[in-house]
Amino acid sequence: MIYRAFILLCLAALAGCQGLPYRGAEDQARITADLKLAATPAEFTRLRWAYTNYGVMKGEQTEDAIAVVQPGLITLVGYAGGHYVRQASFRVATVDCAYIFDGETSDRPIWLLQQDRIVFLTVSDFRGNGDVLKRTQLVKALAASGFTLHTDAQGPAYRPTGKSERLLVLNPIVGKHMEDIAENQAHNVCRPQPLKDK
């Protein structure tokens, strides 16, 4: 009996270390209740997110969240003190567009481009393994919610600076290796840019 209790305690500790608990319909109902949502949202997607600034791209520390998409709104939900909590919310009116890397069917990030910053969203895990199906569902939910989508085919939201940096890269297939990574500068492709004097 003591052995069994010890195993259950270890499993509970491991579950707590895995971050955000989320297993589907039961947790969706808890999110709806904890956030006092009037109706069940159209989409729940587990992802990682961060704020980042326009200009030269730097690595940002991401947070685990569940993206809850409702009409005209996406809310990023975390977990604290045994309850789901709102980390951030973005209304359609505060987002110039959702920049969709590589079109709808990809596992690349999504950027919510705001006037002063980018909201970085990714369905990839910390190793970079993405989920194309979850990402596709999220893109469709954002479009249905009223967010304007902008893809690479319409013009990229970043441009190379001409510089590069030699970095250690972890690739799941070839392992760790050094690689020259091109430096990019992010800009708001969905907001008219001021003309520069020549």
Structural domains in the chain, sorted by start: 19-156 (2.30.29.30)
How far from 49 is each of 63, 106, 167, 178, 195, CA to CA, in Å?
5, 17, 23, 26, 32
Torsion over CA: 69, 70, 72, 74 (sign): negative
pLDDT for 141 = 94
- What CA–CA distance (Å, rounded) separates 177 from 165? 13
Q: Which residue has the tokens 């441009």?
A: 159
pLDDT for 51 = 95
User: What is the identity of the amino acid at 83?
Assistant: H
pLDDT for 126 = 67
Give per-residue pLDDT as tens, 113-154.
999 999 999 998 766 778 899 999 999 999 999 999 999 889
- What CA–CA distance (Å, rounded) separates 110 from 50? 11
DSSP code at position 146:
T
pLDDT for 14 = 32
Backbone angles phi, psi at 99, to 5 degrees: -85, 120
pLDDT for 107 = 86
Tokens in use for 94?
């505060």
Q: Which residue stretches of the chain have pLDDT < 70?
A: 1-19, 126-127, 170-174, 193-198
How far from 135 is each of 81, 124, 138, 141, 193, CA to CA, in Å?
29, 9, 5, 10, 29
pLDDT for 15 = 35
Q: What's the CA angle centered on 26, arms 22 and 27, to 5 degrees?
A: 35
Model pTM above 0.75: yes
Helix residue ranges per DSSP H, 18-162: 25-34, 132-145
CA-based nearest residue to 156, from 115, 108, 90: 108
